[in-house]
Structure 1
Amino acid sequence: MMAVSDPLTYEKCALEDSECIIKQAQAALPSFVQGIPELGIKKLDKLHMDKITIDIPGIFSELTNVEIGGLSNAIIDDISINVPYKIMRISFNTDLNTECDYKLNGTLFGFPIFGNGKGHFSLKNLQIEMIIIFDIIKSDQGKDILDFKSYMYGADAIDGLHSHFENMYNGDKEKSDMYHELVNKNWRLIVTNYGRYFTPLVVKEMYEGVKTAMCSRNLEDLALYGKSEK
């Protein structure tokens, strides 16, 4: 059983032993994404957001009471740490499912769109890759700790987007069916143009959780490091 104070691994791994780190992180993931309040790590599955707004020429959309699920089912493909270059790479895939209340008004591909009600959309087989730039610094107690500096990421919904919004066109089923066919068939265009208002928010919360978990502890307590390597 994993102790709450050790959220990422069940046993210590060398920093450059990717196989060991992936195995331990995968085992710890379901507990980790439920949040660790004593470390200030919020619940990541389901991740709650009060509001997401898309306000660009042609379209206004407001999502409220947003609940994002799926991170507990993520499959970790890679966690690799390059100590000399101070770079960490994380890669995983999952289906990301979102439920919300929505308001939508504007035009899409030249067609008028409007509606409000309950919404659901899923990013199928979403592949996320992150690069984290870090440093190793001394704590006030003279111990080595990680110091996350910045990150960048890429994401691709490999198996597409599926969305369903109730009460589109005030319940006009024919128009609603046409809208959903248009959006779900042209999902890559939708994700490319509008996903930047959604995916970065999820990735940021993930990054902050990992940062808090790893940077709040001495490296020798997290991994086989320094004297613990011997």
Structure 2
Amino acid sequence: MTGIDRIAVLVAYIFLCAISVESKANYFTPCQASDPKLEECLKTTAQKVLPIFVNGIPDLNLEPFEEYKIEDVHEIQPSLQIHFTNITLFGSGNSKITGLKLDPIKKKITLNFSNLGIMKSNYKADGRLLVLPVKGDGKAIIKMDIDYDFKIYYDLVKGNDGKDHMKIVQHKANFSPNSMDFQMTNLFNGNKQLADVVVKFVNDSWRSIFPEIGTPVMIKVTERMIKQIGKFLNAFPASEILLP
């Protein structure tokens, strides 16, 4: 490689880095740590970033999150076996950020948000839900209105740019359901009379049934959410997420 070629490569590299930095800066306007209304600034910024976040950011290796798949869920209990497969979630863009705090001293982020989402999957169930027998093998659609409370702990690690980046090292995820609506096909081999009784009972008793059906699904969902949030945080220098 000639000297001119080396210079050309160097100029191209600097140009690409400049484009990368500029494109990242366009994703959000960082808040000032000294802002007396810091929590409100962080919450507003996160809500503005959300549509970009859920649609995916290829430059940051963030896949789309408005429609996404999670691992199969197999819940086996003494009274009930239920399996959800080929699970797809919809509606991340419906999320509303209700609280966001960032403590750089404790290296802790507290995120609160609500989401009205839809889960579509195949299901297979056999056993009893509370007092009713349930048996079926078909399609399931579950609508869930959930409040989330994430506590995220991070360390600072050096990135390829030589700057400190956030890396999630621990998290605690809590979720609280506000409502759930179940629809299942092919219950009792298509016996509509029995199926209608079970579906009505499930929807009337959703709060009692949530631990058996909703909780195993939500654990998978929150794991996926944390992974996505971690990628986003790590893509920027910490000093560009919260200005000193």
User: Which residue in the other structure is 2:29 paired with?
Assistant: 11
CA contact (8 A) 1:46 1:68 kept: yes
Which of 71, 77, 80 aligns to 2:92? It is: 71
Deviation at 1:214, TM superposition (A): 0.8
CA contact (8 A) 2:119 2:142 kept: yes
Q: Which has more helix, going by share of residues?
A: 2
Deviation at 1:52, TM superposition (A): 2.1
Bigger Rg, structure 1 or 2: 2
CA RMSD of aligned residues (A): 2.3
Which TM-score applies when normalising by structure 2? 0.82
CA contact (8 A) 1:8 1:29 kept: no
Are 1:156 and 2:203 matched, yes or no?
A: no
Are 1:128 and 2:154 matched, yes or no?
A: no
Are 1:111 and 2:132 matched, yes or no?
A: yes
Give the unaligned 5+ runs of structure 1.
226-230
Identify the range of structure 1 (42-51 vs 172-181) with the bigger mean alpha-carbon deviation: 42-51
Deviation at 1:6, TM superposition (A): 3.2
Q: Following superposition of structure 1 onto structure 2, how do residues 1-230 of structure 1 map, counting pairs within 5 Å?
A: 6=24, 9-15=27-33, 17-49=38-70, 51-124=72-145, 126-139=146-159, 142-158=162-178, 160-225=179-244
Q: Structure 1: which amino acid aligns with 2:223?
A: K
CA contact (8 A) 1:8 1:24 kept: no
Counterparts of 1:15 and 1:122, CA distance in 2: 38
Q: Structure 2: which amino acid aligns with 1:145?
A: H
Show CA shifts across 1:99-143 (max 9, x none): 11211111222432111112111112x100100012334446542
Counterparts of 2:83 and 2:106, CA distance in 1: 41
Give the unaligned 5+ runs of structure 2.
1-20
Specify whether residues 219 and 50 from structure 1 end up closer, same or farther in structure 2 by C-alpha distance, changes over 3 A only: closer
CA contact (8 A) 1:7 1:28 kept: no
Q: Structure 2: which amino acid aligns with 1:221?
A: E
SS of the aligned residue for 2:55 comes to: coil
Q: Indicate the percent of aligned positions where both proteins have the same amino acid.
A: 23
Specify whether residues 41 and 87 from structure 1 end up closer, same or farther in structure 2 by C-alpha distance, changes over 3 A only: same
Deviation at 1:8, TM superposition (A): 9.3
Which TM-score applies when normalising by structure 1? 0.87
Counterparts of 1:192 and 1:4, CA distance in 2: 46
SS of the aligned residue for 1:167 comes to: coil
SS of the aligned residue for 2:31 comes to: coil
SS of the aligned residue for 1:117 comes to: strand
CA contact (8 A) 1:8 1:213 kept: no
Specify whether residues 30 and 140 from structure 1 end up closer, same or farther in structure 2 by C-alpha distance, changes over 3 A only: closer
Deviation at 1:154, TM superposition (A): 1.2
Counterparts of 2:160 and 2:54, CA distance in 1: 29
SS of the aligned residue for 1:23 comes to: helix
Identify the range of structure 1 (74-83 vs 62-71) with the bigger mean alpha-carbon deviation: 62-71
Counterparts of 1:55 and 1:103, CA distance in 2: 11
Q: Structure 2: which amino acid aligns with 1:162?
A: D
